[in-house]
Chains A and B, each alone.
Chain A
Amino acid sequence: MISAVKPQPLPPEQRIVITGIGLTAPNGNCLTDFREALLAGVSGVSEYEIRYFGKTLAGICEFDGRRHQTRKDARRGTRAGSIGAYCANESVVDSGVDWENVDKDRVGIYIGVTEHGNVETENEIYEISNFDYDTKFWSHHHNPRTVANNPAGEIAINMGITGPHYTIGAACAAGNAGLIQGAQQLRLGECDLAIAGGVSESIHTFGIFAGFASQGALASHDDPQRASRPFDVNRNGIVVAEGGCLYLLERLSDAQARQAKIYGELVGYAMNTDATDFVLPNPERQSQCIRIALERAGLVADQIDIVSTHATGTASGDTLECAAIRDVFGESENTLINNAKSFIGHSMGAAGSLELAGNLPAFEDGVCHATINIDELDPECALDGLVQNQPREIGRPADYILNNSFGMLGINSVCIIKRFTG
């Protein structure tokens, strides 16, 4: 049994708050637009085609890459690097921090990724296939593009950040894992500002689509916008999406000293491992992970206003997560449950941080966005509090949001964000 520690009450220099958000999602390129799309039921899934695999569906981002990156750097780097550079810059701008005078030695970059390097390796193999697989035609850019720290390193180069930078490989729990890593490094005093979250370029590798298809886990639907349908009885798999969401994190003492806008405070988190299967989740460990996060936050389940689920639209994954949620929140009367993948698909390494971000405005507007595309609810997913198809008013600003993010090889992560009240 992992022992839980209860960090509160913490001194201000150990309390970690979100002061900036930069994101790109298939249905919005800033928090305002993303939130509006989630409340309006706007899907970001569209038709997509990728070499070898052919026609499929995906969540595609259309952010203004030129806003923060030259065309040359975009060409030299990776899609994950470009998404990262966009989100990191946007989070800093959003935070209002005096970036010019920030000591860049004291900024850390912690980027969650599901995978990295598949896109670039596939591209090079395709390229040399035009030259009879002669490796003399293999690009010198391949290694810097595929080193595991690439997306974080591209952000560092782009922004002149000289503190620590690395990625956190954590399958589809990576968005939460990046956020957690950033908070931990701030608490350790390793940096004064942390750019943390997750990114994904996975729609540009045919292998992800082919792999899910071979697994029987790739969604299909005549209407792309109806394809991602967690909890629906006719769900048939995952819609792969690209995206990114990076937070600017600070110690509360620093944020208050500069009178920063505070989106919320990370009051609890947990990561644990199923240790049972490569692919199939283990609800016992998922519920354990949720409970550890609650205990660390000093909360009981019913205090959580919104649970942002991980559910991806697979038959077993959704059912098992629902079992875990039912185990923890079965007696909760005030907890609402939603899912952002029903709008944008599964943004892999970005999913945890992106899906959390879509819920944070509930601290102000008191609305829980829906899970769309539930035409017929799977009885096994019939959770009390599941917000179906239309957003629901909480009746007051939300106080606590709990964000699930799970991944292959049984990696589980949970973050709890509290509305900042001082």
Chain B
Amino acid sequence: MAPEEIRSAVIEILEDIAPDEDLSNLDDAQAFRDQLELDSMDFLDIVMELRKRYRVQVPEEDYNHLNSMGSTVEYLTPKMVDVAV
């Protein structure tokens, strides 16, 4: 997957776990928590969905990389380079 495809994949996950949120104006540079009502269980949902959908493992010590869309895509890019679209 290319970075833009990873971003779309994360957006799809967010649409499922935060269905009441408007994601159309999400600022990739800003923290998710500053823009969306996400709590720790939601971040665990992101981790779980990445595992289920793409078999990507995000170890607990790396959770801080999921802070914003930008950092998430940057973190996932090497992990998902071989994941088919």
Chain A residues engaging chain B, CB cutoff 8 angstroms:
70-72, 75-76, 131, 136-137, 139-141
A71-B19, A72-B19 known; A140+B41 contact, CB < 8 A: yes
Let me know if B17 and A75 touch, CB within 8 A: yes
Let me know if A137 and B48 touch, CB within 8 A: yes
Which 4 pairs from chain A and chain B are nearest by CB? A71-B19, A140-B44, A70-B20, A72-B20
Most chain B beta carbons < 10 A, residue from A72, A137, A141: A72
Closest residue on chain B to residue A136 by CB atoms? B51
B18 in contact (CB, < 8 A): yes
Chain B residue contacts of A76, Cβ below 8 A: 41
Interface string of B26-58 (1 = CB under 8 A from A): 000000000001000100110010011000000
- Chain A nearest CB from B40 CB (Å) reads 9
* Complex CA distance for A140 and B42, rounded to whole angstroms: 10
Chain A residue contacts of B41, Cβ below 8 A: 76, 140-141
Chain A residue contacts of B52, Cβ below 8 A: 131, 137
Let me know if B48 and A71 touch, CB within 8 A: no
- Chain B nearest CB from A263 CB (Å) reads 34
* Complex CA distance for A75 and B17, rounded to whole angstroms: 8
Interface of chain B: mostly helix, strand, loop or mixed: helix
A-B CB contacts (within 8 Å), total count: 24
- Chain A nearest CB from B17 CB (Å) reads 7
Chain B residues engaging chain A, CB cutoff 8 angstroms:
16-20, 37, 41, 44-45, 48, 51-52
Interface of chain A: mostly helix, strand, loop or mixed: helix
Contact of B48 among A72, A75, A139 (CB under 8 A): A139
Chain B residue contacts of A75, Cβ below 8 A: 16-17, 19
Closest residue on chain B to residue A140 by CB atoms? B44
Chain B residue contacts of A137, Cβ below 8 A: 48, 51-52
Given A70-B20, A141-B41, output 11 extra A-B contacts at Cβ < 8 Å: A71-B19, A71-B20, A72-B18, A72-B19, A72-B20, A75-B19, A131-B52, A137-B48, A140-B44, A140-B45, A140-B48
Interchain Cβ contacts under 8 Å between A and B, 24 examples: A70-B20, A71-B19, A71-B20, A72-B17, A72-B18, A72-B19, A72-B20, A72-B37, A75-B16, A75-B17, A75-B19, A76-B41, A131-B52, A136-B51, A137-B48, A137-B51, A137-B52, A139-B48, A140-B41, A140-B44, A140-B45, A140-B48, A141-B41, A141-B45
Closest residue on chain A to residue B38 by CB atoms? A72
Closest residue on chain B to residue A139 by CB atoms? B48
Chain B residue contacts of A72, Cβ below 8 A: 17-20, 37
* Complex CA distance for A76 and B48, rounded to whole angstroms: 14
- Chain A nearest CB from B11 CB (Å) reads 16
Chain A residue contacts of B16, Cβ below 8 A: 75
Chain A residue contacts of B19, Cβ below 8 A: 71-72, 75
Closest residue on chain A to residue B55 by CB atoms? A131
* Complex CA distance for A76 and B19, rounded to whole angstroms: 11
* Complex CA distance for A276 and B81, rounded to whole angstroms: 65
Closest residue on chain B to residue A131 by CB atoms? B52
* Complex CA distance for A271 and B37, rounded to whole angstroms: 45
* Complex CA distance for A131 and B37, rounded to whole angstroms: 30
Chain B residue contacts of A70, Cβ below 8 A: 20
Closest residue on chain B to residue A71 by CB atoms? B19
Chain B residue contacts of A141, Cβ below 8 A: 41, 45
Closest residue on chain A to residue B41 by CB atoms? A140
Closest residue on chain A to residue B47 by CB atoms? A140
Chain A residue contacts of B48, Cβ below 8 A: 137, 139-140
- Chain B nearest CB from A143 CB (Å) reads 11
* Complex CA distance for A139 and B47, rounded to whole angstroms: 11
* Complex CA distance for A284 and B45, rounded to whole angstroms: 52
* Complex CA distance for A101 and B17, rounded to whole angstroms: 33
* Complex CA distance for A72 and B37, rounded to whole angstroms: 10
Chain B residue contacts of A136, Cβ below 8 A: 51
* Complex CA distance for A68 and B20, rounded to whole angstroms: 13
- Chain A nearest CB from B75 CB (Å) reads 19
* Complex CA distance for A269 and B8, rounded to whole angstroms: 58
Chain A residue contacts of B37, Cβ below 8 A: 72
- Chain B nearest CB from A70 CB (Å) reads 5
Chain A residue contacts of B17, Cβ below 8 A: 72, 75
Chain B residue contacts of A131, Cβ below 8 A: 52
Chain B residue contacts of A140, Cβ below 8 A: 41, 44-45, 48
- Chain B nearest CB from A277 CB (Å) reads 43
Closest residue on chain B to residue A75 by CB atoms? B19
- Chain A nearest CB from B35 CB (Å) reads 15
Closest residue on chain B to residue A76 by CB atoms? B41
- Chain B nearest CB from A131 CB (Å) reads 7
* Complex CA distance for A15 and B42, rounded to whole angstroms: 45
* Complex CA distance for A315 and B52, rounded to whole angstroms: 47
